[in-house]
Amino acid sequence: MCSYHIANKATHVCPCGFYNHPEKDCVCAPGVVQKYLSKISGPLLDRIDLHVEVTPVDFTELASSQEAEKSNHIRTRVIQAREIQDLRFADREELHCNAQMSPKMVRKVCEISEAGTSLLKTAMEKLGLSARAYDRILKVARTIADLDGSENIELEHLAESINYRSLDREGWAG
C-alpha cells in the first residue's frame, strides 16, 4: 500500500476534503492539491465571477439563533440592483447587466477613485492576480456597489470584489 493510501485510510478523508479545514490537517502529498486545481483552466476561470472558499460550518454556528440577512430583504436588493443596471444600459439593447459589459464598457462604467486604482494595483501585484482578473474585479465591484445602492464604486466594494478572485492568485493552495 502506498503512503498516500495509508494516509487516506487513517484519516478517512482527503484529496482534499480537508483543504482549508479549520481543525483537520490535509494529508495530501506535496503538489497534489495544486495539480488538481490546475485542471481548472484559465479560460474556464474566465467564466466564473465569484470564487468563494467554503469551510465546514460548526454545529454551534448552525444552531445559533443569530439571524443572517433575511432572504426577502436580499431579494429586494437584487431587484433594485437589476433596475439600476437596466437604467445604466437603457440605450444599449444588447446589454442588461454588468456581467455582459465589454472591456471598453468596463473602463467607461466602472470608474474608480485614485485610491481605488492604487488598491487594485497593489492587490494585482501582491496577490499575483492575472490580467483576466482585472475586468472581472471591476464588474463585480460595480455589482456590489449596485447592491449597496451606491453610485460610486467605493474602496469596500473593490476590496470585497478582489476577495472573489482567489483562484487567480499565484500560489493559491501553495
Identify which of residues 21 and 51 has a Cβ nearer to Zn ion in the complex: 21
Identify which of residues 14 and 133 has a Cβ nearer to Zn ion in the complex: 14
Q: Please tell me the number of Cα atoms within 13 Å of 167 on its side-chain side.
A: 21
State in angstroms the smallest separation of the CB of 14 from Zn ion.
4
Contacting positions for Zn ion (CB under 5 A): 14, 16, 18, 26, 28
State in angstroms the smallest separation of the CB of 169 from Zn ion.
19
Return the number of other C-beta atoms located less than 10 Å from residue 120's C-beta. 22
For cell 474585479, the residue is 137
Answer for the pair 18, 24: CB distance below 8 angstroms, yes or no. Answer: yes
* End-to-end CA, the chain: 27
State in angstroms the smallest separation of the CB of 82 from Zn ion.
40
State in angstroms the smallest separation of the CB of 133 from Zn ion.
26
Q: Say which amino acid occupies 140.
A: V
Identify which of residues 20 and 113 has a Cβ nearer to Zn ion in the complex: 20
Q: Which three cell numbers stand for residue 130?
A: 492575472
Identify which of residues 35 and 73 has a Cβ nearer to Zn ion in the complex: 35
Helices 131-147 & 71-88 angle (0-180, nearest 10):
110
